[in-house]
């Protein structure tokens, strides 16, 4: 039984790793281009709230794969939102100078 639980946790960790690291190129692109104009703030806000709920769910279940993957995904999602807001303000400031 313990071997099956290890396999299940392993699958969960790999799934979490893959779906979480999928956000890294987006964070990098926004940072590099200094633009988040093509990112939907509403979508990432809803997504982040959903991730908070998944994180709470993982904590209640004491599921390490759910906790780890959703904690990191939440950080990446909130980073995307923060960069979107940050670079929107800097583009507004640049536009005001014209």
Structural domain for 26, as ranges: 2-96
Q: Which of the four pLDDT bands, split at 50, 70 and 90, describes residue 96?
A: low
Number of structural domains (the chain) is: 1
The pLDDT tens digits for 41-50 are 999 999 999 9
Spatial distance between the Cα atoms of 8 and 85, rounded to a whole number of angstroms: 38
Q: Is pLDDT at 75 greater than 60 in this prediction?
A: yes
Q: What is the pTM of this model?
A: 0.82
The pLDDT tens digits for 49-69 are 999 999 999 999 999 999 999
CATH number assigned to the domain comprising residue 74: 1.20.1280.290
Distance between first and last Cα of the chain: 68
**Helix (H, G, I), strand (E, B), or coil: what is residue 6?**
helix
């Amino acid at each position: 039984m313990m071997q099956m639980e290890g396999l299940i946790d392993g699958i969960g960790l790999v799934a979490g790793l893959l779906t979480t690291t999928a956000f890294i190129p987006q964070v990098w692109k926004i940072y590099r281009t200094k633009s988040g104009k093509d990112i939907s703030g509403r979508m990432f806000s809803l997504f982040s709230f959903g991730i908070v709920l998944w994180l709470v769910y993982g904590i209640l279940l004491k599921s390490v794969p759910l906790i780890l993957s959703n904690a990191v995904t939440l950080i990446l999602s909130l980073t995307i939102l923060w960069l979107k807001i940050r670079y929107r303000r800097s583009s507004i400031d640049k536009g005001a100078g014209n």
